[in-house]
Amino acid sequence: MLIDLHCHTKVHSACSALTPEALVRAAQARGLAGVCITEHDALWSLEAIERVAAEMDFLVLRGMEVTTEVGHVLVFGARDHHPAMATLDELRLRVRDDGALMYLAHPSRRYGTMPPDDLSSYFDSVEVQNGTEGMLQNDQAVHLARNLRLPGIGGSDSHSVREVGVCATEFESIVRDERSFVGALRAGAYRARRV
């Protein structure tokens, strides 16, 4: 099942033009099975995410895109967001207790000076298909992912309807909720796709 793992809505990302309803309708039009809303430095409450999912009768998951000193980090399975997460060490400390996974987003854009060898000590993997990046940048990300413990993920990084679902992640197992989503990520049974 194809899920777009990187989407912003105007609910918590001021830069996005998308309402959750428009996001879901665009994902359905593209033939996706689900979306994951990853707002900038904010996490939806589980109740609010489940309300949208029930109203739209569609799989809607949550993550967050945290801004750190080395770049944007996609986090899945965390229970909350805290401003101290802007420091990579603090982010890792706080989300690892939740059993969350960390992926470096659009790694060609990272603005810190982290040597590639250090990536695996912080990240489970990287985003290898980002809808707003060029082919060259995504190819560089694929190269980076080879040394990490999990496959790279794909997501559109959509802020508008036409961007939704241009990249996504294909899961081998059924994802029904946050628990099965995080479990499938941890199992590494997925691959990034440009749709």
CA 195/CA 186 separation, integer angstroms: 23
Candidates 157, 158, 163, 168: give the one binding Zn ion (CB under 5 A): 157
Task: Give the nearest distance from C-beta 73 to Zn ion in angstroms.
Answer: 9
Nearer to Zn ion, 157 or 163 (CB): 157
Size of the site for Zn ion (CB under 5 A): 4
Task: Give the nearest distance from C-beta 74 to Zn ion in angstroms.
Answer: 8
Q: Supply the angle between the helices 46-56 and 20-29 in degrees, to the nearest 10.
A: 50
Q: Identify the residue whose tokens are 């982290």.
A: 114
| Structural element, H or E, at residue 159 | none
Which residues within the stretch 100-119 sit at the binding site for Zn ion (CB under 5 A)?
105
Task: Give the nearest distance from C-beta 72 to Zn ion in angstroms.
Answer: 3
Which residue of the chain is nearest Zn ion when measured via CB?
A: 72
Task: Give the nearest distance from C-beta 157 to Zn ion in angstroms.
Answer: 4
Count helices and strands in the chain by DSSP H and E runs: 6, 9
CA 95/CA 123 separation, integer angstroms: 12
Q: Say whether residue 72 binds Zn ion (CB under 5 A).
A: yes
In the chain, % helix, strand, coil (3-state, to 5) comes to 35, 25, 40
Q: How far is CA 54 from CA 8, 26, 33, 39, in A?
A: 19, 17, 14, 20
Task: Give the nearest distance from C-beta 130 to Zn ion in angstroms.
Answer: 8
Candidates 39, 65, 124, 127: give the one binding Zn ion (CB under 5 A): 65
Which residues contribute to the site for Zn ion (CB under 5 A)?
A: 65, 72, 105, 157
